Amino acid sequence: AGASRVIAVEASAKMAAVATQVAKNNGLLLSKSETRVNGNNKGVVEVVNGMVEEIDKIVEIQPHS
């Protein structure tokens, strides 16, 4: 729907790996090294392995984003 960034949080390491592969296969995985192609975001999904209660310790989220 046009999101600039999606953070998928998964507690299970195996399921986080599966989610990462699915996002990669669909061209949606946010790559830290290559985030722009022709001025557009190549991917928007970032998969994080951890508990949602601790997301602020794992991923930097800008205020009011």
Could you read off the pLDDT of 20-62 as tens digits, one per residue?
999 999 999 987 665 444 445 578 999 999 999 988 888 887 7
- Side-chain-side CA neighbours of residue 8 (13 Å): 20
Q: Residue ranges of the domains in the chain?
A: 5-57
Q: What is the pLDDT of residue 34?
A: 53
Q: How far apart are CA 57 and CA 19, in angstroms?
A: 21
Q: What is the pLDDT of residue 62?
A: 78
More confident residue, 16 or 57: 16
Q: What is the pLDDT of residue 35?
A: 45
Is there a contact between 51 and 39 (Cβ–Cβ < 8 Å)? no
More confident residue, 12 or 2: 12
